[in-house]
Structure 1
Amino acid sequence: MGRVIFSVHQINEYVRGLLGRDPILQDVWVRGEISNLKIHSSGHIYFTLKDEQDRIRCVLFRQNQRDMAFIPSDGMRVLVRGQVSLYCKDGQYQIYVMGIEKDGIGKLYLAFEALKQRLKAEGLFDAQHKKPIPPFPRKIAVITSPTGAAVRDIIKVVRRRCPCVDILVVPVLVQGSAAPAQIEAALDYVNTRDDIDTIILGRGGGSLEELWAFNEEVVARAIWRSRIPVISAVGHETDFTIADFVADLRAPTPSAAAEMAVPMLQHLQEMLAGLNVRLMEAMRNMLLHKRKGLEHLQSSYVFRYPDRIMQQRKQQLDQAYTRLCAAFNDILSNKRERLSRLAAALDALSPLAVLGRGYAVVTLRPSERVVYSVTSLKQGDGITVHFKDGRADCRVEKIEGGVYGVR
């Protein structure tokens, strides 16, 4: 029997014909979870419908979206009505969707929302904890897959914007069960270094499952405890992960993260050139102002007639000296007058003045204590009588009481 040889196109067309003749597959309802959803510029929506075991590709053309009451998104559980056929160009069968209804939210999306709300309640998303991104880093660390497009885009942008910035690439898995632990370890490692100013953490786009490593709690807490500012650049602009909310800054793409992390050297050079022009202009204006001030001083009265100024100052000095001497003499006269008054008052209280009026002071020998009363004496005591012009030593022969010895 001779061999019958078919082309690839013939086989694909044959299979498509078989699928097209199956009545079940021409109008079928399928339940599943949306992932890897893409909206084409034409308006057509491409996505994958999956369950716990398998997945199937779907396409929802723009003309079939008129009666759709919602916008499909990753993680959404839906009921899809459509026709199963083969897309010959890729050799893959897919569902051509004619209608779509909500069927609850997918498990991954529920897990995402639950962790998001819990970490938010703990304050991990608070703006007050966000660290500023250094405007002029010396070295940045890029934690991502070493073979993906993200790392190439980041390096390309950094080299274009600011070639003087060093880049440390820390390779990690960015999807799969081992990825979260590797990302956590990489973040902790970079934080042990003193030469890193900024961390870019990210990967290219993908489905919710492919980005799930960046929704794990261990990754979120590693970002939270990082002392170095972290820029999250996971997926495309429409992709959001837990890492985006915890990071100090979210970038819509890895390329945008590189632009946020390093300055544009050309702009800095232009800014410095502009500042230099402004500085030179300011210096010229200041010198011109100072020169005018100097010219004004040179033409002033002080510089033209300095001897007259000196004469005026000497005259003012003489007048001040005269006033000072007068004030000093007035003060001295007042002090002398006060001293005279105090001396007169002191003289009036002096014991010598009392003695000058005929009184005497009696002291007991040998202690020379003043005798205030005859009761302090006894017959035979030696006493000294002090007069204003001398003294006399005496002895008590008789003692009588009363005032001046009068009974």
Structure 2
Amino acid sequence: MIFSPSPPPDDVISVSALNRLARELLELGVPPVWISGEISNLTLAASGHAYFSLKDGSAQVRCVMFRNALTRLAAKPREGMQVELRGQVTLYEARGEFQINVETLRSAGLGRLYEAFEKLKAKLEAEGLFAAERKRALPSHPRAIGIVTSPAAAALRDVVSTLHRRMPSIPLILYPTPVQGLGAEQQIAAAIRQASARSEVDVLIVCRGGGSIEDLWAFNEEVVARAVADCRIPVVSGVGHETDFTICDFVADRRAPTPTAAAELVSPSREQLLQRVDQVQRQLERALSRLMTDKAQQLDFLSRRLVHPGERLARQRDTLKLAEHRLQSRIRAILDGSNRRLASTEARLARLFPDLGSQHRQLDQLGERLDRSMARLLAECQRRLARCEGTLTALNPNAVLARGYAIVQKADGRAVKAPYEVVRGERVTLRLAEGQTEAIIDPPQTATQIQAELPF
């Protein structure tokens, strides 16, 4: 290990030289190392550099990560994040502060506080305490505003000054409580419950200024979240700066990025209301002026239309006479038309009126003709029926069978018409006039066989 030569003990050196010598000793004596710890007091500067403390259970060290190294990270560092970082141990000469220039870092799991934050957040969200439907609207013109914070907090001064500037007529009620330290969460919850029980304000601001995650931790406790959720008064959470989020923010009816913004949320602006009143007054004046002008013009127009009652009656008499003449002409025209239509209808009825005597005679003749035709048709049908009956009787196979004939049928019911259609030994059915019987086919004997069998 190589160190730069130290100055002689009798020489007097400046502070700058001392810090430079210490920085060189640190950078030469301690090579870049990997260090694990939890990020705290994180600040992302406008220049793009990140400043934070890396701590464990018993110590902490300042760290800086410059923009070029920060942009190479896949995930940006977060407050409470447990990390492993590699950096050069050095000393910031301008302030004489021991620090680590971080080259890179990687996540080593969530920090204890951050892990507890996420666990409680997930629990309360599952219970529905963050649901949008349970959020209440803030009153547009509150009669009184309550503030839950420390009397010594700078946030109280910001809120009070903002409320007095915007609407000095609204009374303010402070529910004092510590906002950090041991047991602060219990006292904050008690102040919220007290405001809810007294119900003397229309909206409640829970606020404090910015700080590290440890400073704001009282607002991440479950007892505070439960008190906000149970509060009967709409609650606005204004804890920390714009980048700070607490469990109280999620449970509250509205979240404000800062205490000042919370005061602006709950109070109407006196200047804006006065401007609105002036605007409405000007609109009313213009509308009234426009109405008066329109009514004056309407009055002039009506005055030109106004005439003497006698003249109006004379005009109405002339109009009535004209209407009477037109009515009489119309009635005469209607009566003449009706008379013409009536005469035409009577003439058509006279032409179309039937001769009942002639119709009766014609009907009798048609009846006689119908009787004669039906008699002839019936006789003809009887003759045709007799002929069909004779034909059916002649063609009836049962009549043939009655004379001693038989019908030979095969097993499938077909009639045998020639000897070659059957074979020896085949069983056939003989259909007779009175029933049926079965037989077996035996071939006929020859003439020689017949002579041999004769007895003579």
TM-score for the superposition, normalised by structure 2: 0.62
Q: 1:336: which partner in 2?
A: none
Secondary structure at 2:79 match in 1: coil
Q: 1:139: which partner in 2?
A: 144
Q: Of 102, 109, 112, which residue of structure 2 is paired with 1:104?
A: 109
Q: Which structure has the larger Rg?
A: 2
Task: Quote how far apart the aligned CAs of 1:125 are.
Answer: 0.9
Secondary structure at 1:86 match in 2: strand
Q: 1:265: which partner in 2?
A: 270
- Compared with structure 1, are the counterparts of its residues 169 and 92 closer, same or farther at alpha carbon in structure 2 (3 Å cutoff)? farther
Whether 1:19 and 2:16 are equivalent positions in the alignment is no
Larger deviation: 6-15 or 115-124?
6-15
Q: 1:227: which partner in 2?
A: 232
Pairing of 1:159-178 with structure 2 (within 5 A): 159-178=164-183
Larger deviation: 192-201 or 97-106?
192-201
Task: Quote how far apart the aligned CAs of 1:21 are.
Answer: 4.0
CA distance in 1 between counterparts of 2:72 and 2:316 reads 103
Task: Quote how far apart the aligned CAs of 1:118 are.
Answer: 1.3
Q: 2:157: which partner in 1?
A: 152
Task: Quote how far apart the aligned CAs of 1:66 are.
Answer: 4.4
Is the 8 Å Cα contact of residues 298 and 304 (structure 1) preserved in structure 2? no
Task: Quote how far apart the aligned CAs of 1:295 are.
Answer: 4.3
Q: 1:45: which partner in 2?
A: 50
For 2:162, give the aligned amino acid.
V
Pairing of 1:200-211 with structure 2 (within 5 A): 200-211=205-216
CA distance in 1 between counterparts of 2:11 and 2:218 reads 50
Task: Quote how far apart the aligned CAs of 1:299 are.
Answer: 4.6
Task: Quote how far apart the aligned CAs of 1:96 are.
Answer: 1.4
CA distance in 1 between counterparts of 2:156 and 2:168 reads 16
Q: 2:250: which partner in 1?
A: 245
Whether 1:304 and 2:311 are equivalent positions in the alignment is no
- Compared with structure 1, are the counterparts of its residues 236 and 11 closer, same or farther at alpha carbon in structure 2 (3 Å cutoff)? same
CA distance in 1 between counterparts of 2:82 and 2:65 reads 16
- Compared with structure 1, are the counterparts of its residues 188 and 279 closer, same or farther at alpha carbon in structure 2 (3 Å cutoff)? same
CA distance in 2 between counterparts of 1:307 and 1:286 reads 33
- Which string of whole-angstrom CA distances, capped at 9 and with x for unpartnered residues, describes residues 81-117 of structure 1? 1122233444432211112111111122121111111
Give me the identity figure in percent. Answer: 45
CA distance in 1 between counterparts of 2:200 and 2:310 reads 65
Is the 8 Å Cα contact of residues 220 and 248 (structure 2) preserved in structure 1? yes
Secondary structure at 1:68 match in 2: coil
Task: Quote how far apart the aligned CAs of 1:121 are.
Answer: 1.4
- Which string of whole-angstrom CA distances, capped at 9 and with x for unpartnered residues, describes residues 218-240 of structure 1? 11111111122111111111111
Larger deviation: 273-282 or 304-313?
304-313
Whether 1:123 and 2:128 are equivalent positions in the alignment is yes
Secondary structure at 2:197 match in 1: coil
- Compared with structure 1, are the counterparts of its residues 39 and 227 closer, same or farther at alpha carbon in structure 2 (3 Å cutoff)? same
- Compared with structure 1, are the counterparts of its residues 287 and 44 closer, same or farther at alpha carbon in structure 2 (3 Å cutoff)? same
CA distance in 2 between counterparts of 1:5 and 1:169 reads 58
Q: 1:365: which partner in 2?
A: none
- Compared with structure 1, are the counterparts of its residues 310 and 247 closer, same or farther at alpha carbon in structure 2 (3 Å cutoff)? farther
For 2:309, give the aligned amino acid.
Y
Whether 1:213 and 2:218 are equivalent positions in the alignment is yes
Secondary structure at 2:178 match in 1: coil
For 1:192, give the aligned amino acid.
A
CA distance in 1 between counterparts of 2:236 and 2:19 reads 47
Whether 1:289 and 2:291 are equivalent positions in the alignment is no
Task: Quote how far apart the aligned CAs of 1:312 are.
Answer: 8.1
CA distance in 2 between counterparts of 1:286 and 1:43 reads 62
CA distance in 1 between counterparts of 2:278 and 2:300 reads 33
Pairing of 1:175-214 with structure 2 (within 5 A): 175-214=180-219
Aligned pair count reads 310
TM-score for the superposition, normalised by structure 1: 0.69
- Compared with structure 1, are the counterparts of its residues 4 and 156 closer, same or farther at alpha carbon in structure 2 (3 Å cutoff)? farther
CA distance in 2 between counterparts of 1:155 and 1:197 reads 16
- Compared with structure 1, are the counterparts of its residues 194 and 289 closer, same or farther at alpha carbon in structure 2 (3 Å cutoff)? farther
Is the 8 Å Cα contact of residues 50 and 70 (structure 2) preserved in structure 1? no
Q: 1:57: which partner in 2?
A: 62
For 2:178, give the aligned amino acid.
L
CA distance in 2 between counterparts of 1:231 and 1:250 reads 6
For 1:77, give the aligned amino acid.
Q
- Which string of whole-angstrom CA distances, capped at 9 and with x for unpartnered residues, describes residues 366-391 of structure 1? xxxxxxxxxxxxxxxxxxxxxxxxxx
CA distance in 1 between counterparts of 2:276 and 2:245 reads 35
Larger deviation: 161-170 or 255-264?
161-170
Secondary structure at 1:138 match in 2: coil
Q: CA RMSD in A?
A: 2.9
Task: Quote how far apart the aligned CAs of 1:248 are.
Answer: 0.9
For 1:19, give the aligned amino acid.
L
CA distance in 2 between counterparts of 1:310 and 1:252 reads 82
Higher-RCO chain (CA-CA 8 Å, sequence separation at least 6): 1
Q: 1:30: which partner in 2?
A: 35
CA distance in 2 between counterparts of 1:90 and 1:170 reads 41
CA distance in 2 between counterparts of 1:273 and 1:66 reads 52
Higher helix share: 2
Task: Quote how far apart the aligned CAs of 1:11 are.
Answer: 5.4
Secondary structure at 1:207 match in 2: coil
CA distance in 1 between counterparts of 2:305 and 2:175 reads 73
CA distance in 1 between counterparts of 2:67 and 2:300 reads 82
- Compared with structure 1, are the counterparts of its residues 154 and 309 closer, same or farther at alpha carbon in structure 2 (3 Å cutoff)? farther
